[in-house]
Structures are given as structure tokens and as C-alpha cells.
Amino acid sequence: AYKDTWAGGTDSYLDMLYPRLQLMKRLLAENGSIYVHIGPNIAHYVRAIMDEVFSTERFQSQIVWQRVTAHSDRQGFGTNYDLILHYSRGDRPLWNPQYQPLDEKYVKTHYTQMDATGRRYQLGDASAAGPGPARWFFGQLLEPPPGTHWRWSQEEIDRLCAQGRIVMTRGGRPRYKRYLDEIPGKVVQSIWADIPPVNSQALEDTRFDTQKPKALLERIIKASSNPGDLVADFFCGSGTTLVVAEELGRRWIGCELGKVGVQVTRSRLVKAGARPFLIENIGNYQREMIYLTGGRIWEMQHLILKLYGATPRDKLSGLGVRRAEDGVEELVYVGYPDRPVTAKKVEELALAAEKMDGAGYRRLVVLGWDYEYNYHEALEARLRAHTGRLKVQVASRDVPPDIYDYLKKAKSAEDIEALADKVQFFERPYLRVGKPQVKALSDGRQEVSIAIDRYVLMDIPISRTTKQGQASYETLLELAKDNFAVLIDYWAVDWDYDGFTFRSQWQAFRGNGKKARTVPTEAKEVLEAKPKRTLAVRVVDIFGNDAAATVEIGG
């Protein structure tokens, strides 16, 4: 599910991290803290960067988190820990001490006394370092031991004596009763050996190697924030930070590049009963990557055409020509990376393809970064209007989201050609929803139901180069033939889509690992009656593909 976007080694990773840490510092509250979880092999580099960005004076601690008890598969001492670097923005960060349960043996050896009510206690010192005056205890004026002072004011001593919290020893020295049930525990230090990693049997397991245990994030969030505060995780992965922040009554912001990470985070938040939240695509990653590397849109379109095996026709149209394996000359179009491909655009291209370059083309291949809602249905409707006159076959394919992983490895035109065999452009999934059913209720409301009639993966992205891969491919193909729902990871319905923002008001999840189950294909909801409404459906399959459709009721 996760890929190392910064695959250029340590230099590439640190180049990525440095400006982001600078931005995070600017975003932090004056009393805020930042925690960076890192492996020990690179932690010293990251700490040097954080010393520069936050200053050594703002270094709070280096936490050693023991992830596993032992490693026996290597020469030398096993590395069984990660590091968590803790820095603050200002000189007075918010801090809530965290505690661990007291050790049972410690309790038995230190809390040996018991009062008449059965409460365990120990007798603690009533003095502290630093000189101070004598105080009255039970009518006696007592000097503190040399170099010390009594811990409390005279008024507090009188109150504690009246409560029976101070007792006198046979030697005539005051001692303080510390009750076991009043001790929150042992203050957590910088070595954490009490939080195991997420294992395959854990209920919170999402099957991501990088998933952090909730207990780890709970300790961090409780230590450096209060309820109502804002917690941010800019590499949120499977969303553990956001789920824990929600459970602890904090507000939160999460950022994630991977589609699968966003999907799992959304699923976990919904299952945790999170308050309404918004998923936004801030900017366009494809476009930003092009600009950040000094490229231009048409140059990227040319690269995509070459990776597909097509020859660009000209500089700016996004069109190319390719001879397919079956011998057919294809006209290939690459969409813009910052906007969805529309059915109207493809209709125009199909009409032009029949006469283009003299003889025309029998097949139009569309390579899109994204597609509009109802793309397949809208395109079918447009093409039906030309039945009998339009001979061009249309194939719509997705530009793979990991395309930049390939492009970053290419240093020349020859490298691009070599990558063409590795990059796969899978055909766009097909989604069809049924006609909504509306039932009037006696209270004036409506019961509305909608179902997924069909979901088809034109290409299943499973490698068949090994026997195991071929078996997996055939098994999934057989399952999907009888029940297409096995392909769906998540689907949601917006019962009153406004045409701009999809609001997930009903959702079904497949789940992960042992909790996986086939999703239902019908959704039902009781709604306030309206003469007209638009329903929107979004589907994400088990390979991260997404599809959407809208349908109107009334009007």
C-alpha cells in the first residue's frame, strides 16, 4: 500500500524533509511540540536538521521506543528500537506528565502499611533540599534536618496533621502518608518499552508495515496537548494519529499522498464514530510535481505518450499515434494532469479521429489522470447519438498514480523507452448504478434506496509472471464473475449532491485482514421529502481505483 516516494536515498529524503520541517515550525503554536519518528540509521541526520530548524535549546527529549523484544537474525546486537525526536516551538511548551502503572513488586515492597480502612500507604519524607525555618508539628516546634526545609507552609502542615496525613516516628520525626490509590503511577521517562508494535492479531491492525500502535500516539497527544487543541500529522499514513486525536477530543488535520492511505484513514475515522470531516485535494499533485521539477504540461504529456509507446503528433495537442499489438493504428490522447477528462472532450476527439491524418483512425485511446462523474454513462450516451455513423472504438485508461516513481529514474530518452515495458495503463473501471427507488412514508418523509448494478475491472493489476500470481489472478477473476462486490473496498452515497462537494452520508467498507467482508451493494436511507434531488455514488476498489456516478430523482 505504501511506496517510498523519496527513493533517491538519504540525500533525497533529507532534501524532502528539511523544507517541510521549516513549514511545520511556522505552523506550530508557541507552546506546541513536534515529534518525529525515525529509524536509528538516519536519526542522527534528522536531529542535526531539527537542531538547525528549531535550535538546540528547543530540544526536549530523544525517546527510545522498543518495538520488538529481540532480533536473532543478524550478526551483532539486534536493533530493536526506533527513535522519536521531541522539539518545541517556544521555551514553555505545554506539558502533561504521563504515567505508567506501578510495578507489582515495587508496590509490595514499598507500600507495606495499611490504615484502618484498608488503604495501602508508605511513609514519605516531609523535608526537601534547601534550608528553611522550623515548623510546629502536633504542638512541637521542630527544626528540619541540616540543609533542608519542611515541604509545606505552617497552614498546610496544620491541615495535614488534622487529616491524619502526618505521623510522628519513634525518633520524633514527622513523616507523610502517601496512599497508593492517590499515586497516578510511575512518571514515563525517555525509554518506552511498554508499548508493543501492531501485530497481525491486533484489532487495530490495518496490514500496513508502517502502522503505529494507538497507545504510542495516545501518550504523545496527551503529553503535549489538551482537549480542544489542534493536532496535525503531515505524513498520516493509515491515520492512527487522527483516530486517536478524535477519540481524545482533539481537533485534527492530516495529510497523505497515497490514495490507499487516505482510503484506510477515512474508513478508520468513520468506524471510530468521528465527527463530520472534510477530505480535500489541496492543489493537484501531478501538476505540482511537473512544476517543481521545472517541467511544462505539454512535456509531461509527451512523456506519457512515449511511455504508452505512442509518437507525439505535435507539441501542444496531447495527441500521439501508436500501432497496437493487433496491428490497428491508434490515436492516443493524454489528458491534462490538473483536470478530469470529460465525455464531451472524448466525443469531440472520436469525431475528429475518423478524418484525422487523411485515412482517420479506427481506435481512440484516452489516457486520463482523472475522469468526470458519470464518465462512462455520459460517453455511451454521446456515442449512441452517432450510431451508424461513428466507427471509432474508444478505450479509456488511467495514468498510473505512481508514474513519477518511474519518471524519476529516467535520465534520458533511452531510459523512457526502457520504462515503457514496465508502466501499465489499465482500462478505466466501469460503474453502473441502478434507478433509485423512492417510497413515500406516512410521516411525510421518503425512503430512498440505490444500488450498484455493475462494477467491472477491465484490467486486474495482478502480475501473472509466477504460478502464485496466476493463481491469485484466476481466483479473483472467478470470484468477481459471480459477485462483483468482492472488488469493492469502499463505496459511499451523498443523498443530496450539490454538484461541487461530495458529502459521504452513507458508506460501506470491506475492512482489512480478518475483518474483511464483502460490502452490500444496496444503500437505503430515510430522507426529508423533496421534489427533486441528485444522488452521487463513489466507489473505491481493492486496487485503489475510484469511480463515481450521479443520478437524479424527480424534476
Contacts 24+ apart (CB under 8 A), 348-354: 350/383, 350/386, 350/390, 350/392, 350/394, 351/386, 351/390, 353/392, 354/390, 354/391, 354/392
Which DSSP category does 486 fall into? G
What pLDDT sits at residue 200?
A: 54
What pLDDT sits at residue 1?
A: 33
More confident residue, 315 or 240: 240
Q: How confident is the model at residue 407 (pLDDT cuts 50, 70, 90)?
A: low
Closest CA to 297 of 313, 318, 325: 318
Please give the C-alpha separations between residue 529 and each of 450, 500, 503, 505, in angstroms, as whole numbers.
16, 22, 19, 16
What pLDDT sits at residue 2?
A: 39
Q: How confident is the model at residue 121 (pLDDT cuts 50, 70, 90)?
A: very high
What pLDDT sits at residue 504?
A: 82
Task: Walk across the sheet containing 488-494 and list its strands.
Answer: 506-509, 488-494, 532-541, 546-554
pLDDT tens for residues 423-434? 788 888 888 999
Contact (Cβ atoms closer than 8 angstroms) between residue 488 and residue 529: no
Give the residue-averaged pLDDT of 199-207. 55
Give the residue-averaged pLDDT of 116-134. 93
pLDDT tens for residues 252-284? 999 987 767 787 888 788 888 888 888 876 655
pLDDT tens for residues 480-532? 777 888 888 889 999 999 887 788 888 888 866 556 788 999 999 999 998 89
pLDDT at 5 over 60: no
pLDDT at 10 over 70: yes
Q: What is the residue-wise DSSP string for 284-335?
A: -HHHHHHHHTT--HHHHHHHHHHHHTPEESSSSS-EEEEE-TTS-EEEEEE-
Highest mean pLDDT range out of 72-86, 223-237, 270-284, 462-476? Answer: 223-237
Closest CA to 255 of 273, 238, 236: 236
pLDDT at 137 over 90: yes
Percent of the chain with pLDDT over 90: 48
Q: Backbone phi, then psi, for 85, in 5-degree steps?
A: -90, 125
Please give the C-alpha separations between residue 547 and each of 180, 372, 375, 411, 433, in angstroms, as whole numbers.
59, 9, 9, 34, 11
pLDDT tens for residues 291-343? 555 556 677 788 888 889 899 998 778 999 999 989 999 999 999 877 889 99
Give me the residues paired with residue 507 across strands.
492
CA distance 258 to 256: 6
Q: What is the grid cell recorded at 111?
A: 507500600
Give the residue-averaged pLDDT of 14-32. 94
Percent of the chain with pLDDT over 70: 86
pLDDT at 546 over 90: no
> Poorest-confidence range of 74-83, 178-187, 195-204?
195-204
Q: How confident is the model at residue 6 (pLDDT cuts 50, 70, 90)?
A: low
What pLDDT sits at residue 316?
A: 78
CA distance 233 to 221: 11
What pLDDT sits at residue 286?
A: 58
What lies within 8 Å, CB to CB, of 406 at 6+ separation is: 307, 419, 422, 423
pLDDT at 209 over 60: no
Q: How confident is the model at residue 167 (pLDDT cuts 50, 70, 90)?
A: very high
Q: How confident is the model at residue 456 (pLDDT cuts 50, 70, 90)?
A: confident
Please give the C-alpha separations between residue 97 and each of 64, 232, 342, 525, in angstroms, as whole numbers.
17, 21, 56, 46
Give the residue-averaged pLDDT of 54-61. 96
Average pLDDT over the chain, rounded to an integer: 85
pLDDT at 28 over 70: yes
pLDDT at 471 over 80: no
pLDDT at 4 over 50: no
Closest CA to 53 of 10, 87, 11, 12: 87
